[in-house]
Amino acid sequence: DQQVKQNSPSLSVQEGRISILNCDYTNSMFDYFLWYKKYPAEGPTFLISISSIKDKNEDGRFTVFLNKSAKHLSLHIVPSQPGDSAVYFCAASAPGTSYGKLTFGQGTILTVHP
């Protein structure tokens, strides 16, 4: 039972344009959401997060939007750069779960073309 789903395995974008990565979740108890970025041969690194009390969080070129009623979040990257090419994972946690356990989506491979 996949509680966090990233339905697009891959996304290709031109440099300078916007990249939009999507994530859906089914567990209504999730209240904290994160995006991680992973380059080949490296571990995932934390990118940005959002609490369920907000609907938007921004950090430089990266913005995460949360739509609780639709159980949907998205990551916007503007403008996209070739160095953004990586696998992006969304993750979620619920309060009271064991030690802040994260549930991850399947990942989306983003390719930004020069």
Buried b (16+ CB within 10 A) or exposed e, 10-44: ebebeeeeebbbbbbbeeeebbbbbbbbbeeeeeb
Kindly list the residues in this chain that would bind another protein in the complex (CB under 8 A): 4, 6, 9, 31-32, 36, 41-46, 49, 51, 89, 91, 93, 95, 98-102, 104-107
- Of 4 and 112, nearer to another protein (C-beta) is 4
- Of 43 and 114, nearer to another protein (C-beta) is 43
- Of 15 and 62, nearer to another protein (C-beta) is 62
Smallest separation, CB 29 to another protein (Å): 12
In the three-class reduction of DSSP (H, G, I as helix; E, B as strand; rest coil), residue 6 is classed as coil
Cα–Cα distance, 91 to 79 (Å, whole number): 23
